[in-house]
Amino acid sequence: MTSSNSRDVSLAAEYAVVRDLSPDALIEKYAHLVRRIAHHLGGRLPPSVDVDDLMQAGMMGLMEAAKKYAGDRGANFETYAGIRIRGAMLDELRGMDWVPRSVHRRVRDMIEAMRVVEGQSGGRASDAEVAAQMQVPLEEYQEIAREAAHCRMFSMEELAGGDSDLRDASERAGSPEQQLELEAVTELLARTIDELPERERLIVSLYYTEELNLREIGEVLGVSESRVCQLHGQALARLRARSAL
């Protein structure tokens, strides 16, 4: 039996297990996934956002994943459910007005300034260059970068074209053409991340791949959590700015 056939059999078996689980059994089996994603997202949000609200939304995403999952779509259930759970939580956040409009405006100004500077120089814009383009003191720019890390306009899903796009793509990934389309989006985002300054690239990797929180990343890098927050927001703004170049 080829590896491809073995994978198909494995996914079909997993689909059968998920299909046969009762709602209570499903939640018990995968509640750890909802908790992990909720606390990971919660670590980048203001204290006013209740992690329990995210978990409740995530449970709904888990139930939705169980209804729509099919073993022939090329992903195991945990991977598929993770996308649906995260998407449900992001949808919940969109319904909350926890970021003032002034913050969104300042972050958009930061992205535009970064886009202009990097478009003119063809290189990586420094803190001082972006601050000068924005005509604000360096300290104020750094505060805006920290705000960017908490701004709901940023998620890796949205940077890759929108979390709903990723969820839909994961469901459509049955044909080779659709799989290539999803891989192209992922490859483009990965290439852009590779072009980030080294420290920003490391923070993105530790946060999104290793799923460390900002405090843990600060301990790894030997800097304060506030500095990690600033660099994280700056990296996301740089990714958004470069997507517009």
The 10s digit of each residue's pLDDT in 65-102 is 877 776 545 567 787 788 888 888 887 877 665 567 78
Place of tokens 């969820």: 167
pLDDT of residue 186: 55
Q: 205: which DSSP letter?
A: I
30: exposed, middle or buried (C-beta count within 10 Å: 0-12, 13-18, 19+)? buried
- DSSP 8-class letter at 126: P
Residue whose tokens read 């053409």: 177
Residue type, 145: A
Q: Rounded to an integer, what distance in angstroms lies between the CA atom of residue 135 and that of residue 91?
A: 35
Helix, strand, or coil (residue 165): helix
Cα distance between residue 141 and residue 128, in whole Å: 9
Residues of the chain with pLDDT below 70 are 1-16, 18, 44-48, 70-75, 95-99, 150-190, 243-245
Q: How far is CA 151 from the centre of its chain?
A: 12
Residue spans per domain, the chain:
3-94, 101-243
For 101-243, CATH number out of 3.10.450, 3.90.220, 3.40.50, 1.20.140 equals 1.20.140
Tell me which architecture the domain covering 3-94 has in CATH: Orthogonal Bundle (1.10)
- pTM of the full structure: 0.56
What residues have CB less than 8 Å from 178, skipping those under 6 apart? Answer: 169, 172
